[in-house]
Structure 1
Amino acid sequence: MKSIYTAISILCIYLLLTGCVKKEILDEIYLIESIGFDHSKEKSNKGMIVGTILYPIYQPDQPPKNKTLTAEAHIKKSVLQEIQLQSANPIVTGSMEIVLFSKELATNEGVLELIDPFQRDPAVGSGLYLAVVDGEAKELMEGNYGIRGNATYFSNLIENNIKNEDLPKTNLHKFLFSYYQKGQTPFMPQLKRISKEKVLLNGICFFKHGKIVHTISPQEMFFFRLLVDKYSNGLHRVKIDEGEAAIRSIRSVHRFKLTNRFPKEVTVQIKVHGIINEYTGTKVTPKVIDSLQKEFEKEIDEECKKLIESFKENKIDPIGFGHFMKTQIRNFDLTDWTDSQFQNLIVKLEPDVTIAEAGVIE
């Protein structure tokens, strides 16, 4: 009998608690899927931020319509308040997929003050994507990309390039971790509008003190990922005298080793496995495979060293050498890491490429 009373009491408490939850009907709210930030073009509004929200309007048996609302303000919360004055329904952030920053804004003003409210908002997940726009965020958001809505297109574009191409893993959580982690520099992918129906991932932007200080091209992204992430499925083309090969199904891992303390020296071991999917020569022989492996190793060594030198020149450390040194040397001081110590760090590469088999031959 006592157990019955206990069960009834628990049920009553559950019903009371569920009754306290605020109800929101989907047809009566606007679910923001993306928000973009630009500089104001008006001279009279110098220092103002243009915020653009993107939300879908769902219709029966039709793709969702992409709707945008724009307002100007000094801070992100004020932007949403200003946009709310234009909206017939409440604006909700619980469906956010991506936040976009114009490159001009991210370079001149920085993004930290704009990102901060998102990490404090319990309705926003840490898997939220962040991206820089090579151009205006508002213009990018006003296109028409795919049948699932623009925000979903942007997030799928980034997710696909993480899974199958050369973009290292990135999201709000990883950006903030790298920013607050001493000895490591945060980065974001860069998107560019090609037309009203096409968007291109055209590089990676690196930040220092919340502002963009350096950008790498899509051609450099492959080698950057070898240094900071692993490949589970990739593609790279290698040229030798006998022909050109497309090496697919690339899998890679990297490992850092502290090989000297005075002067400080780090060796990066990079192991790459792949198969030849296409080859423009006549026949894939063991000699050809050996030549491809050596050329690929040479290319990795040269291009990765160029990247590291460019990071030193810009006084950033997106690879995380400083964080690695902190884990290897007790009481290691990172105060002047990117400005001084990183410049003197000797980095050696040990690439090891294995081509397991050959596929289609042209």
Structure 2
Amino acid sequence: MKKTMILCACLICLAGCADREVIDEIQVVNSLGYDYNPDTKKVRGTILYPIYKYGPTEEPSIIAANAKSAFDVPLQLNNKSSLPIAFGQLRSVVIGENFAQHGVDELVNILARNPDLGRNIKLSIVDGKAHELLSSVTKKKIKDYQFISNLIEQNIRTENLPNTNLQIFLFSFFSDDRDAYLPLLTQDKDAIKLKGLAFFKGKELATTVGIKETFLFKLLTTGTKHGRYGVKIKENNQRGKVILQNLRTKTTYELKGDPHNPAIITHVKIDGLVKEFPSWIDLTTSSGIQLVEKQLKNDIETNGNGFIKKLQEKKIDPICFTDYARSKTRHFNSQEFKAKYPNMNIKVKAHVHLIQTGISN
């Protein structure tokens, strides 16, 4: 009984030590943006937060401030806010293109060491300025302070975007044998849309790719149960386009050669559904199905090989071929493998099987 009373007293004391925050007395931040001005060498931080009005209505608003570094941004933002800024409900961090090219190491360390931030925060790169993109959220066309995090989440779940969040990014960023990636967003007037992926070489932005290559990246890494892939198809003088709805994929790697001359084959097995196809193709016949399967296979292999070659030219390895080779090689020499990587023979072998052919118009 005495021990129980002591335990209860300790719990009461611990509860009393916690800081209490009233929702009406703090500025709850949902999105945070960073831009870099190379002329002034200053960082501009922008926060997006909801203003709660009477009833269930919410109005997104922004505050922006300039600072000498990313570390000083919260202080400068607090100086312009009527309420203390709280980042505990942060859902997305948007990084301007100039900031990413300048280097994100300082920002990454801030995010990694902040215990108030969740590991599921969605990070993204903006094809332009983060301030302008967050400003567009306050316009009449969007008016949703959770739009950016929801946009990324649903594209991971239902479309071509590979899984990504703060934890996944940090794991790749601090790894010696893989390179990090983030979703690439763009602004179209007052609309925001997913443009593709941005890849990093160390702390700096290395290159970006479009939606088609984003799907190929997802195919070559985690696979997907959804996503769409369009390919132009032809036979004799007839032309058209086929849209493949990916249903199931299985990606495996095969290490060939020897440690001094390694080669990798990426096997991609796709069981897919054709959503759209030209009327001159008869998918009720085996010849029609084989025609589509063959041209889909050739297109995925050609574009997949071209995509990997682009990564090799930039000397980046977000697909993690280095990690795979390490797992299959005794006394693996990482530096030797990386030196060979830009000129290494890495090929994609696609195996396409149409399990459904949808409905033709």
TM-score (norm: length of structure 1): 0.91
Amino acid at match of 1:182: D
Q: How many residues align?
A: 353
Residue of structure 2 in register with 1:68 after alignment: 62
1:41-91, Cα deviation, whole Å (9 max, x unpaired): 7x5xx2111111111111233532112111111222311111111112111
**In structure 2, which of residues 126, 130, 146 is the aligned counterpart of residue 133 of structure 1?**
126
1:4-37, Cα deviation, whole Å (9 max, x unpaired): x444443333222222211100010011111111
Which runs of structure 2 are paired with 1:110-121 in the superposition (5 Å)? 110-121=103-114
**8 A contact 1:181–1:323 mirrored in 2:** no
In 2, Cα distance between equivalents of 1:166 and 1:335: 32
Which runs of structure 2 are paired with 1:165-176 in the superposition (5 Å)? 165-176=159-170
Closer, same or farther in 2 for the Cα pair 1:269/1:277, shift >3 Å?
Answer: same
Residue of structure 2 in register with 1:317 after alignment: 317
Amino acid at match of 2:249: S
Residue of structure 1 in register with 2:212 after alignment: 219
**SS of equivalent residue, structure 1 residue 292:** helix
**SS of equivalent residue, structure 1 residue 335:** helix
Residue of structure 2 in register with 1:293 after alignment: 293
**SS of equivalent residue, structure 1 residue 142:** helix
Identify the range of structure 1 (124-133 vs 239-248) with the bigger mean alpha-carbon deviation: 239-248
**SS of equivalent residue, structure 2 residue 319:** coil
Provide the identity percentage. Answer: 28
Identify the range of structure 1 (229-238 vs 240-249) with the bigger mean alpha-carbon deviation: 240-249
Amino acid at match of 1:39: Y
**8 A contact 1:182–1:323 mirrored in 2:** no
Amino acid at match of 1:278: E
**Is residue 355 of structure 1 aligned with residue 349 of structure 2?**
no
In 1, Cα distance between equivalents of 2:73 and 2:175: 30
TM-score (norm: length of structure 2): 0.92
**SS of equivalent residue, structure 2 residue 265:** strand
Residue of structure 2 in register with 1:265 after alignment: 263
Amino acid at match of 2:357: A
Identify the range of structure 1 (278-287 vs 211-220) with the bigger mean alpha-carbon deviation: 278-287
In 1, Cα distance between equivalents of 2:159 and 2:206: 24
**In structure 1, which of residues 220, 233, 248 is the aligned counterpart of residue 226 of structure 2?**
233
Which runs of structure 2 are paired with 1:135-150 in the superposition (5 Å)? 135-144=128-137, 150=144
Amino acid at match of 1:17: L
Residue of structure 2 in register with 1:36 after alignment: 33
**8 A contact 1:239–1:292 mirrored in 2:** no
Residue of structure 1 in register with 2:302 after alignment: 302
Residue of structure 1 in register with 2:46 after alignment: 52
In 1, Cα distance between equivalents of 2:111 and 2:45: 14
**SS of equivalent residue, structure 1 residue 232:** coil
**8 A contact 1:64–1:148 mirrored in 2:** no
Amino acid at match of 1:331: H
Identify the range of structure 1 (308-317 vs 257-266) with the bigger mean alpha-carbon deviation: 257-266
Amino acid at match of 1:208: K
**In structure 2, which of residues 84, 89, 100 is the aligned counterpart of residue 90 of structure 1?**
84
In 1, Cα distance between equivalents of 2:264 and 2:57: 52
> Unpaired segments of 5 or more residues in structure 2?
none
Identify the range of structure 1 (16-25 vs 119-128) with the bigger mean alpha-carbon deviation: 16-25
Amino acid at match of 1:113: E
The offset of 1:93, in angstroms, is 0.9
**8 A contact 1:239–1:245 mirrored in 2:** yes
Residue of structure 2 in register with 1:277 after alignment: 275
Closer, same or farther in 2 for the Cα pair 1:228/1:89, shift >3 Å?
Answer: same
Amino acid at match of 1:14: L
